[in-house]
Amino acid sequence: MTDHVRVSAKNRMVFKKKVGPLPQDRPITEPPWKILVVDDDSEVCLLTSEVLRGFVFEGRPIELISGYSGRESQSLIRQHGDIAVILLDVVMETDHAGLDVVKFIREEYGDKNMRILLRTGQAGQFPEEKIFEMYDINNFLEKSDLTSHRLKTALRVALRAYRDMRELDDARKREGLLRQAADAASLAKTNFLHMMSHELRTPLQGTKGPFEEFKDQFHLFTGTRKLRALIDKLGDEALKAQFSSSLAEVTKEVVEIAEQGLTSVEHLLGIIEDVLDFSRIEAGKLALSIDVHSVAKPIDEVIHLLRPLAEKKGVSLTVTITGDYSVRADLKRFKQILFNLIGNAIKFTAKGEIFLHVSQQDDFVSFRVVDTGSGIPPDKMEAIFEAFEQVDNSPIRQAGGTGLGLPIARELVRRQGGEIQVQSQVGVGSVFSFSLPLAAKHSVV
């Protein structure tokens, strides 16, 4: 049965009254949904309250708040602050009072979550399509065609949308807080790495000097020269030869020990420099000095440093440059990229050969480091460019390193306008290639 309740012609509404008790299947632990009813006809507000008595959504009841003008509704919105849905009349103290409230909610008050259900008894004055285009509302209800069932259905849809938007907002806020925490942790890590690297670098540099002196100048030490002078004064030639041989053995042993110590120091300094570079990259403080450089000389310098390491392993190192190329690059970082890639090839090549091929490809110079080493498993092809990742992370892995060389190399290549790529087959070898802009095609900056 449908009861027709007549109010003013402007606000004629038809409600199907079906009031039931408030369900109490489970205890209510959350606050009620706040619903604001705004209409200049107090009978409409009262009737809405009667119709929605006992209304529950997702186990939570509603709290109805009534306002009788657009101006009063703005005050109520500011006062309560967490209104889920507003049932809003359009024509009140002015013909557009309700629409003014919509503007206030969305623009001045800045609430994008509150669901706005416009109710009007003069629908013809406000074409529904035009209203939806011009104003951020969520439903348009004509009072003359509004039953209790339709009102409750519209309210449930609105509350569901409000809940979803609030949950989305909360998720975004949590994501923002997590991002801030992650950024703070990353900055703290970067600062710590930078500080510790500098703290370690200073004593290591102090250690490097004595090793270099033992390696290169042990024969010039005062004690060594005095001992040599005493040996030279010996009249017995056989004894002199014996002591000279012993001194030569001591000198050789000292030099070998110094070389081992110097190698270890250089290795540690290289690791620290990698960590420093990584921290600079993460902090966005890695500065590059881009200029035009011929590729031949830097390549010669890098090969000169690395060839002894390759020869020590019985691995040949061959360079092929097909032209007289110049690139736009940071000279120090260009050599660092070459050193990392060729050094890695030597590290992972137990026997065979390593090639560096340099050629032109369009507006770039291509550098291809080809080895006959152990190769990289397919599932590690991308991981090797991640910080601290290794092809073999087991405690007994044979190749050392921090896992920073390739990530740094890729970032350096990208920042100089190139790309780095890898192809590999386990047991066959790998090809690391990178490109840098050809200088002839670019103006100097």
So what's the pLDDT on residue 285? 75
How would you label 307-346 residue by residue, b for 16+ Cβ within 10 Å and e otherwise? beebeeeebebebebeeebbbbbbbebbbbbbbbbbbbbb
- Residue pLDDT, tens place only, 104-150: 999 999 999 999 998 876 655 555 656 666 777 878 777 766 788 88
| Superfamily the domain 9-19+28-146 falls into | Response regulator (3.40.50.2300)
Percent over 70 (pLDDT), the chain: 84
The pTM of the full predicted model, rounded to 2 decimals, is 0.50
Mean pLDDT of 319-328: 94
Question: Of 144-153, 155-164, 308-317, 414-423, which range is least confident?
Answer: 144-153
> What residues contact residue 223 under an 8 Å CB cut-off, 6+ apart?
none
Q: Take residue 351 and report the two structure tokens written for it.
A: 């026997």
Q: Please state the domain extents for the chain.
A: 9-19+28-146, 182-283, 291-441
- Whether the pLDDT of residue 428 is over 80: the answer is yes
Q: Take residue 279 and report the two structure tokens written for it.
A: 């921290």
By residue count, the chain amounts to 445
Asked if residue 19 lies in contact with residue 53, where contact means CB atoms within 8 angstroms, the answer is: yes
- Alpha-carbon distances of 20 from 44, 53, 143, 158, rounded to whole Å: 20, 8, 23, 21
So what's the pLDDT on residue 206? 82
What's the CATH code, domain 291-441?
3.30.565.10
- Whether the pLDDT of residue 40 is over 80: the answer is yes
- Residue pLDDT, tens place only, 177-207: 888 888 787 777 777 766 777 777 778 778 8
